[in-house]
Amino acid sequence: MTVDLSVLIPAHNEVGYIEPCLEALLSSEDTGAAVEVIVMANGCTDATAEIARGYAGRAETRGWALRVIDLPEGGKIGALNAGDTAATYGAKAFIDADVVVSPPLLAQLAQVLDSDAPRYASGIPNVTVSDGGFSAVYTRFWVGIPFLTHGVPGFGVFAVNAAGRQRWGAFPDIISDDTFVRLQFRPGERHSVPARYDWPMIEGFGPLVRVRRRQDIGVAEVKALFPALWANHDAPAPDQVPLWRRALRDPLGFAAFAVVALAVRLPRPGEERWARGR
């Protein structure tokens, strides 16, 4: 069985990224039910909206609908709320515009979401790096943190069924929307499917520090504003590899990870709340 699915893609100045995102999405395996794609172009000063509209014909040939909501104001939360309101179906997949899904991912998500019980689902992230510099060394160690190796992290791609979406109203004005949604569900309600998706790591030391700082602030914000949700945080896994052992296996990767972690804690007054890595 499977469910009708609305795929929501917030996009801000994503030329060069929205094309492979939509190409991969429209090359997905058949879900066995209806699919609509909504691109929420927000505050774009480039051709993101126009390019996305150009894929409507391809979507139609496979029986899907593709719409673009062109919002004058930038901001991911506003885009999420606009797309969520416009969506036709109760089950929803939220996909970042720089993510490239593998062909089976959408169908596997739709299948898992076919339940009357609240469910959250995501695939397996394949963290990509475009060069072999500092970000590659950092990423080599970062992909081994418990958040990625245990549970269902859901960054870049997460999906909920209709019963799950009823757990909150409009998206609040917070940084970490993915953390907010994930913690609406108990660990047993979060499901990982085997299909993968490509998620690009931030490139360069400075951008990496800025975005990691923003992510830490976002998680702390959710914890402070919605303390009841923190009960759904994943407990440490009994087979979790200790940090010191991982550091011994990859001292260079650990050094890069530690340097970023220390730099993130340095105060940066006036830094942009919505810092991006590109």
pLDDT per position as a tens digit, 47-66: 999 999 999 999 999 999 99
Predicted confidence at residue 216, as pLDDT, reads 94
DSSP for residue 17: T
What phi-psi label fits residue 200: left (phi over 0), alpha (psi between -120 and 50 degrees) or beta?
beta
Q: Where are the domains of the chain?
A: 5-264
- Residue 270, pLDDT score: 55
Burial 57-78 (b: 16+ CB within 10 A, else e): eebeeeebebbbbbbeeebbbb
Q: Of 36, 48, 34, which is closest to residue 7 (Cα–Cα)?
A: 36
Query: Which pLDDT does position 65 carry in this prediction?
Result: 98
- Which pLDDT tens digit goes with each residue over 236-249? 888 888 999 999 99
pTM of the model: 0.94
Q: In sequence order, what DSSP letters do the residues of 124-149 get, joined into one string?
A: EEEEE-SSSSHHHHHHHHHTTSHHHH
Separation CA 13–CA 164 (nearest Å): 30
The mean-pLDDT minimum among 29-38, 102-111, 163-172, 268-277 falls in: 268-277
Q: pLDDT for 172-223, tens place per residue?
A: 999 999 999 999 999 999 999 999 999 999 989 999 999 999 999 999 999 9
User: What radius of gyration do the chain's Cα atoms show?
Assistant: 19
The C-alpha angle 41, 23, 130, rounded to 5 degrees, equals 90
Confidence of residue 275 (pLDDT cuts 50, 70, 90): very low
Greater confidence, 226 or 236? 226
pLDDT tens digits along 76-125:
999 999 999 999 999 999 999 999 999 999 999 999 999 999 999 999 99
Please indicate whether residue 136 or residue 236 has the higher confidence score (pLDDT). Answer: 136
> 5-264 is classed in which CATH architecture?
Alpha-Beta Complex (3.90)
- Percentage of the chain surpassing pLDDT 70? 96
Confidence of residue 235 (pLDDT cuts 50, 70, 90): confident
